[in-house]
Chains A and B, each alone.
Chain A
């Protein structure tokens, strides 16, 4: 029994969830019988809210947190070794790994859903899934991948390396950090359960009135998204506070590694934009459950309102996804070129102006929505303006590589690939910012290919590059370089083949979110399906590499890359308190090429 003690937190969480579920059912039934409202969705709502609370209390909030409020000594139980990852740990390094592993698994699940869609689409008529399952699977693919893109780098990698890179012992609020991770499993469970409740056929955008009137699965989706938003806000709050308050002596804002700046910029967006979409989702929930009519046009509601509210968050959200990727890209490009980052201050200015501009471009999603026409030209201008700060990222990357000493290991290959992918993603964005071309391309595969080029080609490529880069720091071991290169090469080639084909098919009139389409588009779709299958296979060497190298890779030493930032000055993996002595800093992060430079940014004490 003692060997299984590490499973206690999860077991307690599950028991708490079941108790919560029953309490919620009782509350739901009494509310619906008192008010005479139909019972199903009220029951789902109360059961979920109480089950979520029960889960969180059981999994660790009660023991390590609430007990203090009522004057009982909190009980911390910390398992050893790999068993730590199954508990309510408050160590940011454990939480970072928990996030990463969870989201890589969710990424593979989302990819599996994409393959199911491609099987359906291999035939222009009805195939494997049929209309209802297709819409649900498509919607699940969308929301799962959006969640991965929002949280994998910022919640996973930056959770692990941010405190290390600024010389802090942990994040500012370790318990909130643990909470924001343990909120995630209920989100995943809700989404996976949706097919049992009739699925949901409104995509990840969940536009009403459809999302008010469809099957109960929609309600599970809405609660999942809402809960996930809470986790995202708490995470952003934590990273901002940590960076403001816990920098090591001498780690001035001008000496922060560029990755930290990107996390600061993305966190500003997460804490300021997420509650807006949460409110939109809440209005849909209230429409469904409490009979309100925010989006019922027949009773004076405005469906268009939701589109504005939704994209007011969801366009900034793509910068929550891409800014950390830019940061990781420029971080690695400096270390693997053995040159200081080109135009550091300009890049910081670019990140902050992207943050500001990201709030002012949302309505380019609505050029064909029927919104006021006088908004078209201003939003086209603002959207196109954002390409100027984005262009600076390219300038910085190329300027750093130029005359550097390039070390083309796997993470650097991912950097080069990402610059290429994001270039295509950025340029095709112009076609969607332009009102005239957007009228045709809106809601076609052109849009789908464009956002996959930015989100996957930009962010997910960088996620994998950064996993390879920080793998030795997290595990103390080296990954297998040959397998890493195999992963990059196959992923890069099949990925580009897939989505370039998608651009062509989309321009030719392939509607997005459909399970059947005109026969003349069948060849293109079959091609996309074949490339998608090959792209899926390219992750096999990655998973194998990670698992095997973590267990028995060669020992890496503290600083296998010879990189200069602070996280490489401590042990790999770092001790519980991160640094055995408080590190001090008296110079910038990228000292390459300076005569007599120290090995890292840290001043030995």
Chain B
């Protein structure tokens, strides 16, 4: 009965290698990456994919192999062996899955959280309050004392802290190119950081948009404004042309 194992184990290794190579070379499902936070999140995403592939192939290969190898033609006329358990296999399985969980929890789990928090703990270079309201955004540049309603403009390479508030119902602040997301909750101020790593704008890349990501009623889908990342000088010029707060 030993030879039952050779073919599936070989297929497992082979299919894992093939899928890993395909994933490393061909997987481009994430939007364009435009911030430091996006780098952390994307790394975690791809690492999880690479970890999941061998688990996926292990179970799929053994499932498909068993179905073909052990199938009867029509109604089986005899029973399979009376095997009710295998203590060793159970130990290996449970301990193995525990090790995997522990690994994934530490990295990318905890490490990812800590990397994102390190960026949040830095003193921000730019402080912006994003106020959500059915169904529009008000982007307030607190230190400069100006605001904008029809777009978010940021300087490249600077750590920007967004304080997010809501005037009515739940909304969520999401910029796909930066990957960052936080809910806007009435009565609370939530916050999120984004550090753009390159210039970019909505006209060239739709992922440069501030999109509401929490269902907020009829206008939810359209509660989206463009995001533009400028060089420092262009940003300063832009600021001088904005309406003052109050």
Interface residues of A (CB under 8 A from B): 131-132, 135, 201-203, 205, 207-210, 213-214, 297-298, 301-304, 337-346, 368-370, 373, 376-377, 380-381, 384-385, 387-388, 391-392, 394-395, 398-399, 401-408, 416, 419-420, 423-424, 427, 430-431, 434-437, 439-440, 442-444, 503-504, 507-509, 511, 513-520, 562, 590-594, 597
Instruction: Let me know if B98 is at the binding interface, CB within 8 A.
Output: yes
In whole angstroms, what is the CA distance A504 to B30 when docked?
A: 8
Residue in contact with B179 in the complex, picked from A131, A380, A392, A439, CB distance below 8 Å:
A439
A504 / chain B contacts, CB cutoff of 8 Å: 29
Pair A207/B170 contact, Cβ less than 8 Å: yes
In whole angstroms, what is the CA distance A517 to B51 when docked?
A: 32
B116 / chain A contacts, CB cutoff of 8 Å: 435-436, 439
In whole angstroms, what is the CA distance A388 to B84 when docked?
A: 20
Chain A: minimal CB distance from B32 (Å)? 10
A511 / chain B contacts, CB cutoff of 8 Å: 174, 211, 213, 221
A342 / chain B contacts, CB cutoff of 8 Å: 83-86
Pair B221/A593 contact, Cβ less than 8 Å: no
Chain A: minimal CB distance from B137 (Å)? 15
Chain A: minimal CB distance from B71 (Å)? 4
Pair A385/B101 contact, Cβ less than 8 Å: yes
Chain B: minimal CB distance from A214 (Å)? 7
Closest to A513 in B: B215
In whole angstroms, what is the CA distance A405 to B109 when docked?
A: 42
Closest to A205 in B: B215
Chain B: minimal CB distance from A177 (Å)? 34
Pair B187/A434 contact, Cβ less than 8 Å: no
How does the 8 Å CB contact mask read for B214-243 relative to A, with 1 for contact and 0 for none? Answer: 111111111000000000000000000000
**Count of B residues near A, CB < 8 Å?**
85
B86 / chain A contacts, CB cutoff of 8 Å: 342-343, 399
Chain A: minimal CB distance from B72 (Å)? 5
Pair B222/A435 contact, Cβ less than 8 Å: no
Pair B180/A439 contact, Cβ less than 8 Å: yes
In whole angstroms, what is the CA distance A493 to B66 when docked?
A: 20
Pair B89/A399 contact, Cβ less than 8 Å: yes
Pair B83/A434 contact, Cβ less than 8 Å: no
With A303-B185, A394-B59: A406-B78 Cβ-Cβ less than 8 Å: no
Pair A434/B48 contact, Cβ less than 8 Å: yes
Pair B187/A443 contact, Cβ less than 8 Å: no
In whole angstroms, what is the CA distance A277 to B62 when docked?
A: 41
Residue in contact with B80 in the complex, picked from A339, A346, A395, A434, CB distance below 8 Å:
A339
Chain A: minimal CB distance from B97 (Å)? 4
Cβ-closest 5 pairs across A and B: A297-B187, A593-B82, A436-B112, A514-B221, A405-B76
Pair B217/A562 contact, Cβ less than 8 Å: no
B90 / chain A contacts, CB cutoff of 8 Å: 343, 346, 395
Chain A: minimal CB distance from B3 (Å)? 12
Complex interface residues of chain B between 31 and 62 (CB less than 8 A to chain A): 31, 37-38, 40-41, 44-45, 48, 51-52, 55-56, 59-60, 62
Pair A210/B83 contact, Cβ less than 8 Å: no
In whole angstroms, what is the CA distance A434 to B190 when docked?
A: 20
Pair A338/B80 contact, Cβ less than 8 Å: yes
Instruction: Let me know if B207 is at the binding interface, CB within 8 A.
Output: yes
Pair B113/A298 contact, Cβ less than 8 Å: no
Pair A403/B180 contact, Cβ less than 8 Å: no
Instruction: Let me know if B10 is at the binding interface, CB within 8 A.
Output: no
How does the 8 Å CB contact mask read for B92-105 relative to A, with 1 for contact and 0 for none? Answer: 01100110010011
In whole angstroms, what is the CA distance A594 to B109 when docked?
A: 47
Q: Can you list 26 A-B pairs, Cβ within 8 angstroms, ordered by A?
A: A201-B217, A205-B215, A209-B168, A210-B170, A297-B185, A338-B80, A342-B84, A343-B84, A343-B85, A370-B182, A370-B188, A377-B109, A398-B63, A399-B83, A399-B86, A401-B66, A403-B80, A404-B80, A430-B48, A434-B48, A434-B104, A439-B37, A439-B116, A513-B215, A516-B221, A593-B83
Pair B70/A210 contact, Cβ less than 8 Å: no
With A384-B105, A434-B44: A423-B59 Cβ-Cβ less than 8 Å: yes
Closest to A295 in B: B186
Closest to A300 in B: B187
Chain A: minimal CB distance from B208 (Å)? 11
Closest to B170 in A: A207
Q: Which of B4, B71, B170 has most chain A Cβ within 10 Å?
A: B170
Instruction: Let me know if B110 is at the binding interface, CB within 8 A.
Output: yes
Interface residues of B (CB under 8 A from A): 1, 4, 29-31, 37-38, 40-41, 44-45, 48, 51-52, 55-56, 59-60, 62-63, 66-67, 70-72, 74-76, 78-86, 89-90, 93-94, 97-98, 101, 104-105, 108-110, 112-113, 115-117, 164, 168-170, 172, 174, 176, 179-183, 185-188, 190, 206-207, 209, 211, 213-222
Say whether chain B's binding surface is mostly helix, strand, loop, or mixed.
Answer: mixed
13 further A-B contacts with Cβ under 8 Å, apart from A135-B217, A509-B206, are: A135-B218, A298-B186, A337-B70, A342-B85, A344-B84, A403-B83, A405-B72, A407-B75, A408-B67, A423-B56, A423-B60, A436-B44, A442-B181
In whole angstroms, what is the CA distance A444 to B170 when docked?
A: 16
In whole angstroms, what is the CA distance A381 to B113 when docked?
A: 12
Residue in contact with A210 in the complex, picked from B31, B93, B217, CB distance below 8 Å:
B217
Pair A203/B215 contact, Cβ less than 8 Å: yes
In whole angstroms, what is the CA distance A519 to B203 when docked?
A: 12
Chain A: minimal CB distance from B22 (Å)? 14
Pair B213/A443 contact, Cβ less than 8 Å: yes
With A369-B183, A437-B44: A514-B170 Cβ-Cβ less than 8 Å: no
Pair B181/A440 contact, Cβ less than 8 Å: yes
Residue in contact with A209 in the complex, picked from B52, B56, B78, B186, CB distance below 8 Å:
B186
In whole angstroms, what is the CA distance A100 to B1 when docked?
A: 44
With A131-B218, A338-B80, A370-B188: A437-B45 Cβ-Cβ less than 8 Å: yes
Pair A507/B30 contact, Cβ less than 8 Å: yes
Pair A388/B79 contact, Cβ less than 8 Å: no
Pair A406/B66 contact, Cβ less than 8 Å: yes
In whole angstroms, what is the CA distance A567 to B222 when docked?
A: 55
B94 / chain A contacts, CB cutoff of 8 Å: 346, 388, 391-392
Chain A: minimal CB distance from B207 (Å)? 6
Pair A407/B67 contact, Cβ less than 8 Å: no
Closest to A441 in B: B45
Residue in contact with A405 in the complex, picked from B44, B70, B179, CB distance below 8 Å:
B70
Closest to A343 in B: B85
Residue in contact with A213 in the complex, picked from B110, B169, B174, B185, CB distance below 8 Å:
B169
A518 / chain B contacts, CB cutoff of 8 Å: 206, 209
With A202-B215, A339-B79: A440-B45 Cβ-Cβ less than 8 Å: yes
B109 / chain A contacts, CB cutoff of 8 Å: 377, 380-381, 384, 434-436
Pair A380/B105 contact, Cβ less than 8 Å: yes
Pair B113/A303 contact, Cβ less than 8 Å: no
Pair B66/A402 contact, Cβ less than 8 Å: yes
B52 / chain A contacts, CB cutoff of 8 Å: 427, 430
In whole angstroms, what is the CA distance A298 to B181 when docked?
A: 24
In whole angstroms, what is the CA distance A212 to B1 when docked?
A: 65
Pair B63/A303 contact, Cβ less than 8 Å: no
With A131-B221, A135-B217, A381-B105: A443-B172 Cβ-Cβ less than 8 Å: yes
Chain A: minimal CB distance from B117 (Å)? 8
Chain B: minimal CB distance from A389 (Å)? 9
